[in-house]
């Protein structure tokens, strides 16, 4: 291969891949807006959205009830699912880049266990529904900080393997505390398990709650795509190119953890998105994180919109926890990734 040929091909493919992913996301969003207990015609949705644009005035033909359903129930739910899916997928890609391990996921460093413990405490002790997302956000950040501090203290330098082990230890301890709290307040188990299994609400306030954190984490992760590519060739090579490997890892870990905490705060615990989506993206578009990160954002958003659509329609009028849907898809996929990884190592 001639020098620069692969780079030129990647640069050519990147806008095409992003455009395809964007089209898929738009199609999934429209499907999420159309389908439900009461269907809304696609033409009416498109015209209504155009009517909301500046200097555009068209008659969508939707009734006031359909408009209310679209903008007050369907749209915030679909937008929130897209944001949460994009955050979890990007966080997964970031963790996998830092640890150079395709099995790393957003809940690796104690974020899920920390969020689960603080949300459980909020449900059991204070019983203020509106404070559960904030408690989960704080718990997720706290769990990651605790794992990072333990990893640095025990590992004399905070290597990735030590950090993973610290995350496992912290997650086990916090999960044990959560189980203890559940057992002493059995009457609250239904509410606790509903949160743990994950779910997408339909409230614009939740979208605005995580919007600033989502934007910051997305920008930081995408901006570090090139540096993650450098880290992928090894720390010695990265240092020779003038890259501070420890600083890049810390920044990416913080941004990925912020993305995870933001998603967990409003959706509960939704597994496998951070493993499935980045792995699929790498298979289809190559291993460069300059492509993996933005594509994971778009594909993760589309994936969770479809998962939420399945959750609310498969057993309608009943609704499945979205974590059950992602587990049905993600668990077999995880086994496949694990077997492929063992085959490569062998």
CATH number of the domain at 189, please.
Answer: 1.10.3470.10
HSE toward the beta carbon, residue 290, CA cutoff 13 A: 11
Q: Are 121 and 135 in contact (CB under 8 A)?
A: yes
Give me the torsion for CA of 315, 316, 318, 323, rounded to 10°: 60
- What pLDDT is attached to residue 12? 53
- C-alpha 260/C-alpha 196 separation (Å) is 15
Domain count within the chain: 1
CB distance 272 to 329 below 8 Å: yes
Contact 86, 217 (CB under 8 A): no
Using CB atoms within 10 A of its CB, is residue 160 exposed (0-12), middle (13-18) or buried (19+)? middle
- Domain of residue 243: give its range: 82-200+207-345
- Packed helices 289-313 and 75-99: angle between N→C axes, nearest 10 degrees: 140
For 77-92, letters b (16+ CB in 10 Å) and e give bbbbbbbbbbbbbbbb
The pTM of this model reads 0.88
- Both tokens of 128, joined, read 């203020």
Query: For residue 188, is it within any domain?
Result: yes
Task: For 282, list phi and psi in degrees, rounded to 5.
Answer: -65, -40
- Report yes or no on 240 lying in a domain: yes
* Tens digits of residue pLDDT in 76-127: 999 999 999 999 999 999 999 988 877 778 887 888 889 888 888 888 877 6
195 occurs within a structural domain: yes
- Is 271 among the domain residues? yes
Can you state the percent helix, strand and coil of the chain, rounding each to 5? 80, 0, 20
Six-digit token pair at 108? 């690796």
Domain assignment present for residue 146? The answer is yes
Tokens encoding 50: 């155009």
- Single out the residue of 286, 217, 204 nearest to residue 256, CA to CA: 217
Q: Return the pLDDT at 5.
A: 46
- Would residue 5 count as lying in a domain? no
Nearest CA to 253 out of 287, 224, 232 is that of: 224
Residue 17 within any structural domain of the chain = no
Q: How far out from the chain centre does Cα 194 lie?
A: 19
The token pair that represents 261 in the structure block: 């905490």
The CA–CA distances, whole Å, from 2 to 5, 7, 8, 84, 226 equal 5, 10, 10, 41, 21
pLDDT at position 47? 93
Q: pLDDT at position 3, please?
A: 40
Q: 101 in helix, strand or coil?
A: coil
Residue 173 domain flag:
yes
What string of pLDDT tens digits covers the 346 residues of the chain? 344 444 445 555 678 889 999 999 999 999 999 998 889 999 999 999 998 888 888 888 899 999 999 999 999 999 999 999 999 999 999 999 988 877 778 887 888 889 888 888 888 877 666 677 888 888 888 988 898 888 878 655 556 778 888 888 998 999 899 888 888 777 777 777 777 788 887 789 889 988 999 999 999 999 999 999 998 887 778 888 888 888 998 899 889 989 998 898 888 889 889 988 999 999 888 889 999 999 999 999 999 999 999 999 988 788 888 989 998 888 887 777 667 665 555 5
Q: What is the reported pLDDT for 271?
A: 87
Amino acid 67: pLDDT: 92
Burial of 189 (0-12, 13-18, 19+ CB in 10 A): middle
Q: Which of 162, 106, 163, 117 is nearest to 139 (CA)?
A: 117
């Amino acid at each position: 291969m001639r020098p620069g040929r692969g780079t030129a091909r990647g640069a050519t493919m990147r806008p095409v891949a992003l455009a395809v992913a964007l089209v898929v996301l738009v199609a999934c969003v429209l499907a999420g807006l159309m389908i439900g207990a009461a269907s809304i015609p696609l033409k009416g949705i498109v015209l209504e959205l155009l009517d909301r644009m500046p200097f555009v005035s068209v008659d969508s033909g939707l009734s006031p009830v359909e408009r209310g359903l679209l903008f007050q129930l369907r749209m915030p739910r679909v937008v929130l699912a897209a944001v949460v899916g994009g955050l979890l997928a990007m966080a997964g890609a970031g963790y996998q880049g830092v640890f150079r391990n395709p099995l790393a996921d957003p809940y690796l460093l104690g974020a899920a266990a920390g969020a689960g413990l603080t949300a459980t405490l909020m449900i059991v002790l204070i019983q203020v529904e509106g404070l559960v997302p904030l408690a989960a956000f704080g718990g997720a950040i706290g769990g990651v900080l605790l794992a990072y501090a333990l990893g640095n203290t025990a590992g004399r330098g905070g290597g990735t393997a030590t950090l993973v082990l610290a995350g496992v230890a912290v997650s086990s301890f916090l999960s044990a505390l959560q189980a203890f709290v559940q057992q002493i307040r059995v009457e609250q188990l239904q509410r606790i398990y509903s949160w743990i299994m994950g779910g997408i609400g339909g409230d614009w306030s939740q979208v605005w709650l995580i919007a600033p954190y989502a934007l910051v984490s997305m920008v930081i992760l995408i901006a570090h795509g090139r540096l993650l590519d450098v880290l992928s060739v090894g720390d010695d090579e990265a240092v020779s190119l003038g890259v501070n490997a420890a600083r890049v890892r810390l920044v990416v870990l913080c941004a990925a953890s912020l993305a995870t905490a933001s998603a967990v705060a409003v959706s509960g615990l939704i597994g496998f998105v951070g493993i499935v989506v980045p792995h699929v993206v790498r298979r289809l578009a190559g291993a460069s994180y300059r492509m993996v990160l933005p594509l994971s954002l778009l594909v993760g958003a589309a994936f969770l919109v479809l998962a939420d659509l399945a959750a609310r329609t498969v057993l309608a009028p009943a609704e499945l926890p979205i974590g059950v849907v992602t587990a049905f898809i993600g668990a077999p996929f995880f086994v496949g990734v694990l077997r492929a990884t063992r085959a490569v190592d062998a």
